[in-house]
Amino acid sequence: MIFKRLLDKQQSSPPMEAPPTNVEPIANTAQLFIQAIQAATHYPDDLIVKSLSPTLTLLYINHLVDNQTLNDHIIAPLQVNTTTTPEAVIDTLSVADIQHGSILAEAIDALVHGAALIHVAGYSKVIFASIITRETRALSTPENESQVIGTQVGFNESLATNISLIRRYIISPDLCHKKITIGRRTHTAVSLIYIHGIASEQMVNTVQQRLTDLRIDALIDSAVLAEMIDDNSLSVFPQMLLTERPDRFCDGLLDGKVGIVVDGSSMAVICPQSFSEFFQSQEDQNLRWPIATFVRLLRLAAFFLSVYLTPFYVAALTFHYEVIPQAFIVPLSESRALVPFPPIFEALLLEIIIELLREAGARLPTKIGQTIGIVGGIVIGTAAVQAGITSNILLIIIALSALASFTSPSYMMGNVVRLIRFPIILLAGYWGFYGIMLAFCFLLIHLLRQSSLGAPYLSPFYPPRFKDMRDSIIRMPIPLTAKRPTFTRPTDEYKFNPDEPIKPKKS
Amino acid sequence: MAYRYHEKEGDDEKMKKWLWCMILLVLLLYGCAQTNILERIGLTTLIGYDVGKEKKMQTTAVIREVNPEFQSKVDVITTEDNTSKGNRMEVNRRVSKKVMIGQMRVILFGEALAEEGLHYYIDASLENASVNNGVYTAIVKDQVAPLLEYDYQNIEDIGQHIYRLLEQNIQQEYMISSMLHEVGRDYYAVGRDMAMPIIEKEEELIKLSGIALFKDGKMVSTLPPPDSFYVKVIRDTFKSGIYETTLQSEDLPSILQKKTDDTMTVAFDAIRSKRTMTLVDAKNPEFDLTIKLKARVLEVSPSFDQSHRKSVEALEKAIQHKLTKELARVIAHSQKVESDVFGFGEEYRSHVRHAELTKEKWHSLYKNMKVNIHVDFVILRNGVFE
């Protein structure tokens, strides 16, 4: 049973390397210290060793430190005052983040994290002045979660920038920030962010424990992290939201959720997240409530349309010709008459063509991507109908369901919608509406069994929480949505007092 | 690394076993379901039954077929056999596609067959799961086969045409409704009889030519099409049909008359009608039938000054009188042929304890039933023209 082995989570793990128990002290002569550092970092060419005075030696990795600060605040003052003790050096430097240590491993760790090391001859102690600079891009609009009304800023790859964006939205001492390093080789900084007094202690502890328990060697992106720490990694449905919008992230925090930001990744993770929240956009909060409600219902309809429209076509044409409306039957059967394949094959063929187009469009450079859109849309679309391999009604249905799948504000959920359609089409082609019903039951049972940080995935519908439904697939006016979602188990249940008007009446 | 808090490892194993079983089932059972791919079947849109010449039953089926060569065509095939399934086999021997009846919209019966009794056909249609209960039923004057087989100049799909004809008239409430479920209800209910529209060929057209009245599933009499208004008004509520009547000079009050021998033609559409039946006497059945009609006058000829309250009231009175007379005539006719299409019997049965009504018993009672008709006619608006 190869498959069984593949699915088996108890993979045989390679023996873990024992963590280096290096407590080697720092040598008190510059010569030996430099040698030790070079040996530990494998003689890199960008390690700069600079002797400032007979007693002071400066070490740093080029391009990892800020040259301006290095020149103005470290080299210049040290050249003016020739100090000979570490304490005096610390006093001399006008750099904020200064520490000192006497263990070699600590020094190396600081060096690779962007510190300039200053060794004073005669002392087995070294000073770390953290003057890190990292290449990062400027803030830009979120590419994948664009919205019309609302803030136009997205996270970027810098953890520091992202934290500062979050701190700008939530100016509060209760905003808690815990740093965890993940990855045996990459030492990626991961920040756990939540609001004390709203977020449930238990959930924070759960996330923290899951993060610290991770024994992996590398972490490149937050999407990987989200898949590793969610409740059911085997499920096709995402259980944590990946967002590149700081406003959405902060809104989640204010609902009592826990956020995770990964250094080097422009997507932040928010959990727990319920199924219906994947169909909400941050823009819904900014629109007037009837419009937001309409848009949310539209998205929900689009989900069902996208998942069930093609299977419905396949089932109706293969088994249940009775349900086709009378006015539809002649055009439908006339367009089908030229097609040599059974409906299931026809539908799968076209679905795969659409998926190919989407994938090609996503992989290609933007300029060529547009060409592909035209080639795919016009050439394949009309040619396929004229060549008689598909009916034009199916073409409309497939295009409609592809379009509908893109309305999901979460790209991850959009992918799921596109994927789960295929088994449903197969079942529809095998057993008609019974097959669709079977697939629906499977889907429903699967969704019911899912949880996000232990919170029910189908909340607020199952278990039913009527007050939470006010902000689920509909959005009621803000005065009526005083309660935070129950499934996050918030410590503070109300955003504001629901009995008092939030806007005092005009006198 | 998946975290599962609510499950034990054993559950997981069991789930996996189930999953494999399901996948195996899907693979093994593929092919067990019988497919009816749309373009590979012949869709029967209409079926007509006649009395057979040699065998028991003659059917005429209107079948729509789609082929790559000719896009779509309509076949009218007449066969004879002893059962409807046997007839379907006969039809199958004559066409290139599997004949299915799931898209059937109309069932027609020949007049001779209807006089013999439709019990078997209504039963068979209701029992057949693939026959929609919303199909329209109608009687064809004389035989069904010639009506369907005739090559009409302007009608491409005769099945579709008859369906639209019936649907249009029934939805506009110009004709009594005769969907299969209604016909079945009327047939099986004690104290109620079926009624169906009659269609006939009129040169290049097909027209609704009356209402067939049934007794115990056998057609006993007919009424002309204008009487469908009265039948509808007594049978159920009425919403939007148009009705036209001519008031004879003796019915007309003098205020509306310019000359003494004038007749007045009035067309109105009933906005709402409500009928109430009350059983007054159970021994010798006697009913009070009250009909409240709210209508707007569409046309009056010759015209009169409608702005006077008095003359409008006089018109209301005149129409009331006229309607009462007509209703009495229609009821009397149905009593004569013992066909209770209005459902007086149901009213009787629901009000008389231990009535133990049977069809025979009711029909004999119905014959001598007395009905007091009160019509309350109100003109809501006048001068509204369509």
Q: What is the pLDDT of residue B330?
A: 93
Q: Is there a single domain that holds both residue A60 and residue A85?
A: yes
**The pair of three-digit structure tokens given for residue A328, joined into one six-digit string:** 């539809």
CB proximity under 8 Å: A 287-326 to B: 316-322, 324, 326
Cβ pair B39:A329 closer than 8 A? no
Q: What tens digit of pLDDT does each residue of B360-371 get?
A: 888 888 988 899
Exposure of A2 in the CB half-sphere (CA atoms within 13 A): 0
Tell me the CATH number at B247. Answer: 3.30.300.210
Rounded to an integer, what distance in angstroms lies between the CA atom of residue B318 and that of residue B326?
Answer: 12
Lowest mean pLDDT among A189-198, A380-389, B215-224: A380-389
Angle at B76 between CA B75 and CA B78, to 5 degrees: 135
Number of independent structural domains in chain B: 2
| CA atoms A21, A22, A25, A26: torsion sign | negative
CA distance B72 to chain A (A): 7
Task: Give the pLDDT mean for B38-46.
Answer: 88
Q: Which residue range forms the structural domain that includes residue B376? A: 237-381
Q: What tens digit of pLDDT does each residue of A31-89 get?
A: 888 998 898 889 999 999 988 888 888 999 988 888 888 888 888 888 887 777 888 88
Q: How confident is the model at residue B1 (pLDDT cuts 50, 70, 90)?
A: very low
Residue A386 has pLDDT above 90, yes or no: no
Cβ pair A454:B68 closer than 8 A? no
Helices A201-213 and A222-229 pack at an angle, to 10 degrees, of: 110
* Cα A281 off chain centre by: 15
Rounded to an integer, what distance in angstroms lies between the CA atom of residue A191 and that of residue A9?
Answer: 27
Q: Taking Cα atoms as reference points, which of A266, A207, A274 lies closest to residue A240?
A: A274
Residue A278 has pLDDT above 90, yes or no: yes
Residue B273 lies in a domain: yes
Q: What is the pLDDT of residue A273?
A: 94
Residue A10 has pLDDT above 70, yes or no: no
**How does strand A455-456 pair with strand A451-452?**
antiparallel
DSSP string, B300-334: EES---TT-HHHHHHHHHHHHHHHHHHHHHHHHHH
In B250-385, the DSSP E strands lie at: 264-281, 286-301, 370-381
Burial of A217 (0-12, 13-18, 19+ CB in 10 A): exposed
Q: Is there a single domain that holds both residue B241 and residue B219?
A: no
Would you call B68 an interface residue with chain A, using a CB distance cutoff of 8 Å? yes
**The pair of three-digit structure tokens given for residue A72, joined into one six-digit string:** 């103005």
B148 strand-pairing partners: none
Q: What tens digit of pLDDT does each residue of B79-132 get?
A: 999 888 888 889 989 888 889 988 899 999 999 999 999 999 999 999 988 898
**The pair of three-digit structure tokens given for residue B243, joined into one six-digit string:** 């009705």
Q: Is there a single domain that holds both residue A44 and residue A104?
A: yes
Q: What is the pLDDT of residue A88?
A: 85
Q: What tens digit of pLDDT does each residue of A209-252 get?
A: 999 999 999 999 999 999 999 899 889 999 999 999 999 999 99
Task: Give the pLDDT mean for B295-306.
Answer: 77
Residues 6+ apart with CB under 8 A from A435: A311, A315, A424, A426, A427, A428, A429
Helices B180-188 and B119-127 pack at an angle, to 10 degrees, of: 120
Residue A98 lies in a domain: yes
Q: Is there a single domain that holds both residue B78 and residue B206?
A: yes
Task: Give the pLDDT mean for B51-70.
Answer: 85
Q: Is there a single domain that holds both residue B289 and residue B211?
A: no
Rounded to an integer, what distance in angstroms lies between the CA atom of residue A199 and that of residue A489?
Answer: 7
Residue A497 has pLDDT above 70, yes or no: yes
Across chain A, what does the average pLDDT equal? 88
Contact A454, B5 (CB under 8 A): yes
Residue A6 has pLDDT above 60, yes or no: no
Q: Is there a single domain that holds both residue A256 and residue A301?
A: no
Residues 6+ apart with CB under 8 A from A156: A136, A137, A138, A139, A140, A162, A266
Q: Is there a single domain that holds both residue B205 and residue B267?
A: no
DSSP string, A439-464: HHHHHHHHHHH-EETTEETTTTTTTT
From B174, B194, B223, the end of a domain falls on B223
Determine the straight-line distance between the first and last CA of chain A, rounded to whole angstroms.
Answer: 77
pLDDT above 90: percentage of residues in chain B: 32
Residue B170 has pLDDT above 70, yes or no: yes
Residue B384 has pLDDT above 80, yes or no: no
Residue B167 lies in a domain: yes
Rounded to 5 degrees, what are φ and ψ at A365? -60, 150
Q: How confident is the model at residue A302 (pLDDT cuts 50, 70, 90)?
A: very high
Residues of B in contact with A334 (CB under 8 A): 66, 71-72
Rounded to an integer, what distance in angstroms lies between the CA atom of residue B152 and that of residue B146?
Answer: 11
Return the H-helix or E-strand segment holding B158. helix B158-171
From B165, B189, B223, the end of a domain falls on B223
Rounded to an integer, what distance in angstroms lies between the CA atom of residue A266 and that of residue A273?
Answer: 19
CA distance B32 to chain A (A): 8
Q: Is there a single domain that holds both residue B219 and residue B250?
A: no
Q: Which residue range forms the structural domain that includes residue A251? A: 159-273
Return the H-helix or E-strand segment holding A337. helix A326-337
Would you call B38 an interface residue with chain A, using a CB distance cutoff of 8 Å? yes
**The pair of three-digit structure tokens given for residue A165, joined into one six-digit string:** 């964006």
Rounded to an integer, what distance in angstroms lies between the CA atom of residue A177 and that of residue B345?
Answer: 82
Angle at B243 between CA B242 and CA B245, to 5 degrees: 155
* Cα B258 off chain centre by: 42
Rounded to an integer, what distance in angstroms lies between the CA atom of residue B178 and that of residue A37?
Answer: 98
Q: What is the pLDDT of residue A188?
A: 92
Number of independent structural domains in chain A: 3
* Cα A105 off chain centre by: 33
Q: Is there a single domain that holds both residue B58 and residue B125?
A: yes
ipTM at complex level = 0.80
Residue A119 lies in a domain: yes
Residues of B in contact with A337 (CB under 8 A): 39, 66-68, 71-72
Residue B8 has pLDDT above 60, yes or no: no
Lowest mean pLDDT among A163-167, A250-254, B168-172: B168-172
Q: What is the pLDDT of residue B3?
A: 46
From A455, A479, A500, the end of a domain falls on A455
Residue B307 has pLDDT above 60, yes or no: yes
From A213, A247, A273, the end of a domain falls on A273
From B223, B252, B281, the end of a domain falls on B223
Across chain B, what does the average pLDDT equal? 85
Nearest residue of A to residue B37, measured between CA atoms: A318
Task: Give the pLDDT mean for B6-34.
Answer: 75
Return the H-helix or E-strand segment holding B221. strand B218-223
CB pairs under 8 A between A and B: 95
Q: What tens digit of pLDDT does each residue of A165-189 get?
A: 999 999 999 999 999 999 999 999 9
Cβ pair A430:B30 closer than 8 A? yes
Cβ pair B37:A343 closer than 8 A? yes
**How does strand A47-51 pair with strand A56-61?**
antiparallel
Q: What is the pLDDT of residue A383?
A: 82
